[in-house]
Amino acid sequence: MQAIRVHTTGGPEVLSYETLPVPEPGPDQVRIKVAATGLNFIETYHRSGLYQLPLPFIPGSEFAGTIDAAGAGVTGWVPGERVATAAGIGGYAEYALAPAAKLVRVPDTIDLKLAAAVMLQGCTAHYLTHSTYPLRAGETCVGTAAAGGVGLLLVQMAKRLGARVLGLVSNEAKAALAREAGADAVILYSQERFDQRVRELTDGRGADVVYDSVGRSTWEQTLDSLRPRGYAVFFGNASGPVPAIEPLLLSTKGSLFMTRPTLVNYIATPEELAWRAGDLFNWMASGEIKVRVEREYPLREATAAHQALEGRQTTGKVLIIP
Half-sphere exposure at residue 217, Cβ-oriented, CA atoms within 13 angstroms: 13
Determine the Cα–Cα distance for residues 119 and 76; give it in Å rounded to an integer. Answer: 21
Determine the Cα–Cα distance for residues 58 and 5; give it in Å rounded to an integer. Answer: 5
Question: For the whole model, what pTM was predicted?
Answer: 0.90
In a domain, 124, yes or no: no
pLDDT of residue 313 exceeding 90: no
* Residue 24 pLDDT: 97
* Residue 62 pLDDT: 97
pLDDT of residue 50 exceeding 90: no
Q: What end-to-end distance do the CA atoms of the chain give, in Å? A: 10
Q: Are 272 and 304 found together in one domain?
A: yes
Q: Domain ends where: 242, 260, 278?
A: 260
As to burial, measured by CB atoms within 10 angstroms (0-12 exposed, 13-18 middle, 19+ buried), residue 289 is buried
Q: Are 240 and 293 found together in one domain?
A: no
Helical H runs in the chain? 41-48, 112-127, 149-160, 172-181, 194-201, 219-224, 247-252, 270-286, 302-310
In a domain, 128, yes or no: no
Q: Are 176 and 202 found together in one domain?
A: yes
227: CATH: 3.40.50.720
In a domain, 126, yes or no: no
16: CATH: 3.90.180.10
Lowest mean pLDDT segment, chosen from 50-54, 235-239, 270-274: 235-239
* Residue 294 pLDDT: 86
Q: Are 148 and 94 found together in one domain?
A: no
Q: Domain ends where: 213, 235, 260?
A: 260
In this prediction, residue 240 has a pLDDT band, given cuts at 50, 70 and 90, of confident
Q: What is the pLDDT of residues 161-188, one digit of tens each?
A: 999 999 999 999 999 999 999 999 999 9
In this prediction, residue 44 has a pLDDT band, given cuts at 50, 70 and 90, of very high
| SS3 assignment, position 12 | helix
| SS3 assignment, position 5 | strand
pLDDT of residue 312 exceeding 90: no
Q: Are 145 and 115 found together in one domain?
A: no
**Please, are residues 17 and 43 in contact by the beta-carbon 8 Å criterion?**
no
Q: Are 42 and 76 found together in one domain?
A: yes
Give the residue among 276, 220, 298, 309 at the shortest CA–CA distance from 17.
Answer: 298
Q: What is the pLDDT of residues 59-92, one digit of tens each?
A: 999 999 999 999 999 999 999 999 999 999 999 9
Q: Domain ends where: 240, 260, 280?
A: 260
Lowest mean pLDDT segment, chosen from 140-144, 169-173, 308-312: 308-312
In this prediction, residue 234 has a pLDDT band, given cuts at 50, 70 and 90, of very high
Q: Are 32 and 80 found together in one domain?
A: yes
Q: What is the pLDDT of residues 100-139, one digit of tens each?
A: 999 999 999 999 999 999 999 999 999 999 999 999 999 9
In a domain, 127, yes or no: no
Q: Are 160 and 178 found together in one domain?
A: yes
Amino acid at 26: G
Q: Are 274 and 233 found together in one domain?
A: no
* Mean pLDDT score of the chain: 95
pLDDT of residue 314 exceeding 80: no
| SS3 assignment, position 108 | coil
pLDDT of residue 292 exceeding 80: yes
In a domain, 131, yes or no: no
CA of residue 11 relative to chain centroid, distance:
21
Q: What is the pLDDT of residues 20-43, one digit of tens each?
A: 999 999 999 999 999 999 999 889
Domain span including residue 195: 137-260
In a domain, 129, yes or no: no
As to burial, measured by CB atoms within 10 angstroms (0-12 exposed, 13-18 middle, 19+ buried), residue 40 is buried
Work out how many domains the chain is built from and give that number: 2
Q: Are 224 and 276 found together in one domain?
A: no
Determine the Cα–Cα distance for residues 163 and 168; give it in Å rounded to an integer. Answer: 16
Q: Are 251 and 284 found together in one domain?
A: no
Half-sphere exposure at residue 245, Cβ-oriented, CA atoms within 13 angstroms: 21
In a domain, 125, yes or no: no
Q: What DSSP state is assigned to residue 148?
A: B
| SS3 assignment, position 106 | coil
As to burial, measured by CB atoms within 10 angstroms (0-12 exposed, 13-18 middle, 19+ buried), residue 223 is buried
